Every structure is written in structure tokens, then in C-alpha cells.
Structure 1
Amino acid sequence: MKALLSSPPVLWFLFLFNLTVAAVAPFAVDGAQGLLTSAGMGAVALGAGVGLLKGRAAQ
């Protein structure tokens, strides 16, 4: 499972999808729920971005 989640296509999907949701969530959902959703999805996008950078540095 770890090999699948650390593959570049999966990391790109996680990065782009979660970044998009993080940008749209505060406008789609009002109040604290939208902000917390945005923060959580942003954290996942940040983690996937770090994974992409680590993979690129290892090559």
C-alpha cells in the first residue's frame, strides 16, 4: 500500500485534488466547517507536495 501511495501519479492526484477542494471549500460551505475542511485538505495537499519534492530530489 505504501508503494502505491508514494507513486508519482497518485501524489499528483492527491496534490491537485486536495488543493482544489481546499480553495473551493470556504466558498461552498459556510462557517467553521468550510474553514476546517479547507485547512484539512490543504494539509493533505501540502503532504503530497512534499512527497513529490522528496521523490524528485531522490532521482
Structure 2
Amino acid sequence: MKSLLSSKPVLWFLFLFNAAVAAVAPFVVDGSQGVMTAVGMGVVAAGAGVSLVRDKGAAK
């Protein structure tokens, strides 16, 4: 499972999908639930983004 989650296509999907949901959630869902959804999805997107950058630096 770890090798699947650390593959580049999966990381790109996690990064882009979660970033998009994090950007839209506060406008679609009212109140604190929308804010917390945005924060949670933003954390996942940031983690995937960091993994992509870290892998890019190791490949050189």
C-alpha cells in the first residue's frame, strides 16, 4: 500500500484534488464545517505536495 500511495500519479491526484476541494469548500459548505473541511483537505494537499518536492529533489 505504501508503494501505491507514494507513486507520482497518486501524489499528483491527491495534491490537485485536495487543493481544489480545500479552495471550494468554504464557499459550498456553510460555517465551521466548511472551514474545517478546507483545513483538513489543505493538510493532505500540503503533505502530497511536500512528498512531490522531496522526491523531485532526490531524483537529481
Q: Same fold (TM over 0.5)?
A: yes
Q: Could you report, residue by residue, the CA deviation over 1:5-46 in whole angstroms, capped at 9, with x for unpaired residues? A: 000000000000000000000000000000000000000000
SS at match of 1:20: helix
Taking structure 2 as the reference length, what is the TM-score of the superposition?
A: 0.97
- 2:27 corresponds to which letter in structure 1? F
1:45 aligns with 2:45: yes
Structure 1 runs of 4+ off > 4 angstroms? Answer: none
Unaligned ranges ≥5, structure 1: none
- Structure 2 unaligned residues grouped into runs of 5+: none
Aligned-partner Cα distance in 2 for 1:46–1:55: 14
In 1, distance between residues paired with 2:6 and 2:55? 8
Q: Percent identity?
A: 68
State how many pairs are aligned. 59
Root-mean-square deviation (Å): 0.3
